[in-house]
Structures are given as structure tokens and as C-alpha cells.
Amino acid sequence: MIYILTCLIFYGSLFFLDLLPLLRQKERRPYLRFALPVFAATLACNILIGLRAPSVSITTLLIALLSKIQK
């Protein structure tokens, strides 16, 4: 629960200080193509991590990939 709370505070501060000004500036709209999906996807990931959903670490995936390549 502390994890989710930390994420909400962190994401909330970034939303108000960075994302909201970006939404208001018309000339910087192209950046939203990257910022919005990343914001939403990482928030969803972090909530899932906070809820202890089963996940695989990045290192496990990379080790599996590199082992295949080395073979």
C-alpha cells in the first residue's frame, strides 16, 4: 500500500508540474505522443507492482534472451 501511495504522490506531482503544462502548450503537443502513453503505462505497471501482481524482472528476461543468443 505504501508503494501505491508513493507512486500516486510521485505521479501526481509530475502530472501537475510537467504533464498539465504540456497539455496547455499547443506548440508542444507532439511531445504528448510519447509522454501520455508512458505516463499511463508506467502508472498502470506501478499499481500492479503495488498490488503484488505476479511479474518477471527485467534481468530475468534479459538473461534468458542473452543465453539464447550465446547458444
Partner 1 sequence: MEQKITGAQLTATITLFLTGSSLITGAYTSAGRDTWLCGLAAFALVLPMMAVHTAILKLYPGRDYYANITTACGKWGGKAVALYLFLCSTHLVALVLRDFCEFIHIVNMVETPVSVIAACFLGVAVYLLKKGAYVLTRVSRFVLPFLVFSVALTCVMAVKDMDFSNIKPVLRSSPKDLMDGTAMIFFLPLGEITTCAPLFKWTDPKQKIFPVFFRGGLGGLLILLAANLRNLFVLGDSLSAFLFSSYEAVSIVAVGEFFTRIEVLIGINLMLAGFIKCCVILYNACEAAGTVLNLGGTKRSQRERSPLVFPCVLLAFTAAMVIYSSSEERALWARYVPVSSALGQVLIPLGVLIAGKIRKRLSGGGPKAAPARPEPAPQQ
Residues near partner 1 (CB under 8 A): 2-3, 6-7, 9-11, 13-14, 18-19, 22, 26-31, 33-35, 38-39, 42-43, 45-46, 49, 55-60, 62-63, 66, 69-70
Element (H, E) at 47: helix 32-50
Distances (CA, A) of 19 to 2, 7, 8, 35: 24, 15, 14, 8
Question: 51: which DSSP letter?
Answer: T
* Least separation in angstroms between CB 16 and partner 1: 11
* Least separation in angstroms between CB 56 and partner 1: 8
